């Protein structure tokens, strides 16, 4: 019989750390999760297409890419039936403990890894202690390995408690691509939640510090544009081309010049471009990957509309077509004051917590906001909290690591919050 999760936090987290799988490729990760959830014993466990509508997913890679990762998972011994349930990249799982007459509380943790090559340095603990990524070029460089471990820890603790309501743990794929929050939020599991908790480790907060509530995550859209023109020999007949590189350059210059908005912060970025074939050919194809963000969802929509107009006019200016596509999006959603006050109060009493920060702003984006908004729109409350962890490198860099002492802290703060909700806000 397996030892309780609470005794295996480090072991579990390291198992996840070894197999970072990017968005919608979390086959082996889901396998590990399912194994642990089964060992806990829950009332309902839904995997993949049982957990959400696959059509609600965003930023899904193509089949070749998915198959490559599926094969790796299969070779690694993940159960075939389980893999079948994840066909087409329907990864992730939802676990439910249903006790009847109490509040319905959700906890969302994210499970995907990143395309970052992990450090091999001697002073990088995963390398030194043998749990570095086993898949070159990918890494759990944002702490989702710890998030999953915390999620399992809370699930086990609630299962063992006398919590009287419904507790639902969302193990959400594709957070880094803002691809998995929406299907989870649209699912039946999110329909009747009274409370939603989401958690992140680190974010420059040290071990022992807890931020009870996050404010102002930016609404965000990832997008791609493909310009299609006409190629021509650049020496012999430059006039015969419709130059996709010129369309691209006009689009970029004017994209960054989308006007600032009186109502608050906006962001526009063209982060990646690729165009053309050879120096002596007028390019017939140019592609960019970019994003827009806004301090509110409306501001993101403003920036998106301006950008789309800019891109379409740039294409037209140079006789090209533009295919403007939204890859994925997330709205803004803030934590609720009453719930944050409760978390704050709980955290102050948890062992290992030295400092409680009631509120912090968040300069980036998060698709937990889909779930938060779903709950808030139903009249419920949400809180996104941060469990501090000493991390040697920044998030998304090769030397990122988490201080495993923060895992039980996260489990305790969240478990205690769920129980206090049941006690005080039934």
Min CB(247)–its own copies separation in Å:
10
Residue 54 CB: number of other CB atoms within 10 A?
15
Task: Verify binding: residue 196, its own copies, rule CB under 8 A.
Answer: no
Task: Verify binding: residue 393, its own copies, rule CB under 8 A.
Answer: no
Tell me which stretch binds its own copies (CB under 8 A): 89-97, 128-136, 243-251, 409-417: 243-251
Alpha helical stretches, state H, 41-140: 63-75, 80-85, 125-128
Size of the site for its own copies (CB under 8 A): 65
The answer to whether the beta carbons of residues 18 and 133 sit under 8 Å apart is yes
Name the residue nearer to its own copies (CB basis): 139 or 275. Answer: 275
Run of H or E including 322: strand 321-330
Tell me the per-residue interface mask from 358 to 387 with its own copies, x by CB under 8 A, - otherwise.
Answer: -----xxx----------------------
Which of these, 125, 32, 163, lies nearest to 86 by C-alpha position? 32
Residue 242 CB: number of other CB atoms within 10 A?
20
SS3 at position 381: strand
Tell me which stretch binds its own copies (CB under 8 A): 5-13, 37-45, 63-71, 280-288: 280-288
SS3 at position 172: strand
Name the residue nearer to its own copies (CB basis): 242 or 412. Answer: 242
Task: Verify binding: residue 281, its own copies, rule CB under 8 A.
Answer: yes
Which of these, 260, 234, 261, lies nearest to 246 by C-alpha position? 234
Residues 205-234 that bind its own copies (CB under 8 A): 218, 220, 222-223, 233-234
Name the residue nearer to its own copies (CB basis): 269 or 355. Answer: 269
The answer to whether the beta carbons of residues 44 and 96 sit under 8 Å apart is yes
Tell me the per-residue interface mask from 291 to 310 with its own copies, x by CB under 8 A, - otherwise.
Answer: x-x--------x------xx
Tell me which stretch binds its own copies (CB under 8 A): 48-56, 148-156, 289-297, 375-383: 289-297
SS3 at position 346: helix
In the block, residue with structure tokens 């965000």: 220
Question: Angle, nearest 10°, between helix axes 297-317 and 244-255?
Answer: 150
Q: In the structure encoding, which two tokens stand for residue 205, read together?
A: 């907060």
Cα 361–chain centre separation: 18
Q: Supply the DSSP string of 218-230, one letter for each residue.
A: PEEEEEEEEEE-B
Task: Verify binding: residue 238, its own copies, rule CB under 8 A.
Answer: yes
Name the residue nearer to its own copies (CB basis): 15 or 251. Answer: 251
Task: Verify binding: residue 286, its own copies, rule CB under 8 A.
Answer: yes
Residues 6 or more apart from 13 whose CB is under 8 A from it? 145, 146, 148, 149, 402, 404, 407
Task: Verify binding: residue 319, its own copies, rule CB under 8 A.
Answer: yes
Name the residue nearer to its own copies (CB basis): 120 or 253. Answer: 253
Min CB(260)–its own copies separation in Å:
5
Q: Which of 37, 270, 371, 411 binds its own copies (CB under 8 A)?
A: 270
Task: Verify binding: residue 254, its own copies, rule CB under 8 A.
Answer: yes
- The Cα 239–Cα 24 span in angstroms is 44
Q: In the structure encoding, which two tokens stand for residue 99, read together?
A: 């006790």
Q: Which of 19, 47, 85, 248 binds its own copies (CB under 8 A)?
A: 248
Q: Which of 250, 382, 407, 414 binds its own copies (CB under 8 A)?
A: 250
Residues 322-351 that bind its own copies (CB under 8 A): 327
| Residue-level length of the chain | 426
Which positions lie near its own copies, rule CB under 8 A? Answer: 218, 220, 222-223, 233-241, 243, 245-246, 248-250, 252-254, 256-257, 259-263, 265-267, 269-283, 286, 289-291, 293, 302, 309-310, 313-314, 316-319, 327, 363-365
């Amino acid at each position: 019989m397996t030892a309780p999760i609470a005794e295996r936090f480090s072991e579990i987290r390291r198992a996840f750390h070894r197999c970072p799988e990017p968005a919608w490729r979390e086959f082996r990760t889901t396998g590990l999760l399912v194994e642990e959830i089964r060992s806990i014993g829950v009332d309902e466990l839904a995997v993949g297409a049982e957990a959400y509508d696959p059509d609600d997913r965003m930023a899904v890679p193509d089949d070749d890419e998915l198959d490559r990762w599926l094969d790796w998972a299969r070779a690694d011994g993940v159960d075939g039936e389980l893999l079948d349930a994840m066909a087409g990249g329907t990864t992730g799982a939802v676990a439910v403990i249903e006790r009847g007459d109490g509040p319905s509380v959700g906890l969302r943790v994210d499970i995907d890894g990143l395309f970052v090559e992990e450090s091999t340095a001697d002073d990088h603990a995963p390398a030194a202690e043998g749990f570095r990524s086993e898949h070159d070029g990918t890494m759990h460089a944002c702490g989702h390995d710890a998030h999953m471990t915390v999620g399992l820890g809370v699930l086990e603790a609630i299962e063992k408690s006398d919590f009287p309501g419904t507790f639902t743990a969302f193990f959400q794929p594709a957070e880094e691509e803002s691809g998995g929050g929406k299907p989870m939020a649209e699912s039946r599991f999110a329909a009747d939640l009274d409370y939603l908790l989401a958690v992140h480790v680190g974010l420059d907060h040290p071990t022992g510090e807890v931020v009870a509530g996050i404010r102002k995550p930016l609404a965000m859209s990832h997008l791609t544009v493909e310009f299609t023109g006409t190629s021509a020999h650049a020496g012999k007949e430059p006039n015969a081309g419709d130059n996709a590189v010129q369309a691209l350059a006009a689009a970029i210059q004017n994209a960054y010049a989308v006007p600032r908005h009186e109502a608050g912060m906006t962001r526009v970025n063209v982060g990646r471009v690729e165009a053309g074939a050879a120096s002596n050919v007028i390019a017939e194809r140019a592609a960019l990957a970019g994003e827009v963000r806004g301090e509110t969802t409306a501001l993101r929509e403003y920036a998106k509309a301006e950008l789309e107009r800019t891109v379409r006019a740039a294409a037209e200016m140079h006789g090209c077509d533009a295919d403007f596509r939204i890859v994925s999006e997330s709205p803004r959603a803030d934590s609720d004051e009453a719930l944050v006050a409760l978390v704050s109060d709980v955290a102050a009493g948890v062992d290992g917590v030295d400092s409680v920060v009631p509120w912090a702003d968040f300069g980036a984006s998060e698709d937990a906001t889909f779930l938060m908004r779903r709950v808030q729109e139903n009249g419920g409350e949400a809180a996104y909290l941060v469990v501090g962890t000493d991390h040697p490198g920044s998030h998304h860099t090769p030397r990122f690591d988490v201080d495993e002492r923060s895992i039980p802290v996260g489990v305790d703060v969240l478990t205690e919050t769920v129980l206090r909700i049941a006690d005080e806000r039934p």
